[in-house]
A and B are shown apart, each in its own frame.
Chain A
């Protein structure tokens, strides 16, 4: 599974990005990501499911772009801290952590 993730915005305006392929990453990491992807149901989520209204007043919310490609299954979703499905949030959190670890390791 290919993963292309980016997040931006928030109080700190921290720009993060992570790209990886579960075929080439450490086994433990790959298994955890695949577990999170499956439990999130992200391939069944439609962009139209998100409430893109109610932006008035909202501030310092982090925005996420997530692209996943796994054989015939592909998806790209844009979401944020307010409208992201609860089931997807652990996956987003894990990807942010991986992005930070990449930055730390240079």
Chain B
């Protein structure tokens, strides 16, 4: 087996991370907003630079030989690049570029579905939230479809999305559900904004943000409102074995499933039921139920798009190690500032606080 020569290079900063964190969390009386924002951005950049170069975004399509009829979009144009992994396992991709930005429909429904949903995600962030793609600098979307053999998952690896076909019984293709695609792309948005560390409460906030914008964009695609949405995550990837189940419920955390495969949905809907175990990176997919419920309650009061505006504003105020208490403060503060700028109705701040109180925050 080939051994890899590792490079152990010290990444050392002059200002220790704990001081940056303290500055990012300080109040206006202690630290000016501009200094607080500088500290927050420094934390994010610090943590990103500590990662391997493999985690940085690359314009992959430009490295590939041209294929007849398939056009790779120019870099930094928020273009879509959908690759067909042809059920291979090699990591990282790329594989064969199957559809580039502006290319016609292909015979493959999964490739077309990811392409369309990726466009819907891009358009929502741009048109509703003023964001130019994942990094706000026009980063092209890279989607890798048909990964592995009956692979039952989808993930964001720090620069690209990857989707499996499912086994056809428990799960169908993960590329067919727009809220999966929006969920994974939002992990990229979080990476380029708050940088929430994928562990413990910051990880649960990271997961919640992805569920929130997954649901928001799914509602936009379906033309639904908060009142008639199902508020379920993952219900469209359930195979025949588990049809009718879902992976998470934002309306009623803890009720999404109860079956032989998954067990019983462990998501809490209140802090008194907070999961303290070590599984799942200390419960990032479990405790996300608590902030998810907050979003549901606020959206039911003021509408999904206005709630999304508050959450997007909050995401830009948080920092990598933010915990639920930090989120509670910032989401109320975001509501207050958006009320002041008349982008959400008067009374929204109080709505947000009531929702937080209902889940014990």
Residues of A within 8 A of B (CB): 8-15, 41, 44-46, 48-49, 51, 53-62, 81-86, 89-90, 93, 96-97, 100, 103-104, 106
Q: Is the CB of B184 within 8 A of A60?
A: yes
Q: How far is the CA of A56 from the CA of B206 in the complex (A)?
A: 12
Contacts of A100 in B (CB 8 A): 167, 170, 261
Q: Is the CB of A90 within 8 A of B55?
A: no
**What are 9 A-B contacts defined by CB distance under 8 Å?**
A10-B152, A11-B153, A11-B155, A12-B262, A53-B52, A57-B191, A60-B154, A60-B187, A104-B261
Q: How far is the CA of A89 from the CA of B89 in the complex (A)?
A: 7
B226 CB → nearest A CB, Å: 24
Q: Which residue of B lies closest to A81 (CB)?
A: B155
Supply 19 further A-B pairs (C-beta < 8 A) apart from A12-B152, A12-B153, A55-B55: A11-B174, A12-B234, A12-B262, A49-B3, A54-B51, A56-B158, A57-B157, A57-B187, A57-B191, A58-B55, A59-B155, A60-B153, A86-B90, A89-B91, A89-B148, A90-B89, A90-B149, A93-B149, A93-B150
B54 at the interface (CB under 8 A from A): yes
B207 at the interface (CB under 8 A from A): yes
Contacts of B261 in A (CB 8 A): 14, 100, 103-104
Q: Which residue of A lies closest to B247 (CB)?
A: A12
Q: Is the CB of A58 within 8 A of B281?
A: no
Q: How far is the CA of A85 from the CA of B261 in the complex (A)?
A: 27
Contacts of B281 in A (CB 8 A): 9
Q: Which residue of B lies closest to A63 (CB)?
A: B281
